[in-house]
Amino acid sequence: MNMGRIPSGIPGLDELIEGGIPRGFMVALVGEPGTGKTAMSIQFISKGLLEGDKAIYVTTEESRESIISQSKRFGVDLKPYIDDGKLVVIDALMGEYGDLWSLKELDVDELISIIIEAKKYLGPGHARLVIDSMSAFWLEKPVMARKYSYQVKRVLSKWGFTILATSQYAVTTQLGFGFGIEHVADGVIRLRKSVVKGVLKRFLVIEKMRQTNHDQHVFEVEIVDGLGVRIAGPVKASRWDLALPPDVVARIIESGFDKLEYEG
């Protein structure tokens, strides 16, 4: 299907999803802490700004200043875009009163409301939106994950956004902090990490991307100063594959797991 796609800003990713993220999609970026979710989110926003898009970044687990500081390590200074009215960073961690773009409570209705106000401030046209992370809104009531995700997608899809929403992943149980966003999202990119031969490695698999013939292999990713996250290349099957969620393992098998070389 011929449809508009936007560049992700992550080197090596667009080639795996037919040239980019379909415009207007909501993509879930799911993974453990330390797998690169925030770095990829910053890259996604930064690429949009360089392409002339307006952008909104909601941060629930780091301060606005931390996001701006990290962007500089990846070669982009977000501060001038904020000053020029092209970017709004909504700080849901600090919740400072008197700050126009701070979320006082982790409430989905308030989240949607402030995002809409930020979009009105930025003006009409396509905009990129990052919510980092969505799981912060259902930590105390994970059963609401699907409802909240649907609510965000349904309302904000009318405002011209392409959305990247991160979601945490429990290290100890290997379960998502509330199932639901994966079902609602148009695309799901899952990140994992594992110690391989004494070295910490990070991996990525594209579980779902609607209207897209996406690659189904597992890829190693690297976080590089001055660049951010990049796709390093496909990996051979190994024991860490068995630590992935069952649905992911099933997809790997469907994509040719039995034909890959096994590394002990």
CA angle 149, 28, 164 (to 5 degrees): 95
Residues 182-202 have pLDDT tens digits of 999 999 999 999 998 899 999
Q: What is the mean pLDDT of the chain?
A: 88
CA pair distance 176, 109, nearest whole angstrom = 22
Sketch out the chain's domains with CATH numbers. 5-190 (3.40.50.300)
Q: What is the DSSP letter of 144?
A: G
Residue 151 in this model has a pLDDT that exceeds 80: yes
**246 vs 209 pLDDT, higher one:** 209
**22 vs 95 pLDDT, higher one:** 22
- Please state, for a pLDDT cut of 90, what percent of the chain lies above it: 73
Q: Kindly report the pTM of this predicted structure.
A: 0.87
Give the Å distances, CA to CA, from 61 to 33, 66, 130, 196: 11, 10, 13, 28
Q: pLDDT value at position 258?
A: 43
User: Residue 208 in contact with residue 216, Cβ under 8 Å?
Assistant: no
Q: How confident is the model at residue 248 (pLDDT cuts 50, 70, 90)?
A: low
Which one, of 243, 198, 164, 201, lies nearest residue 34 by Cα? 201
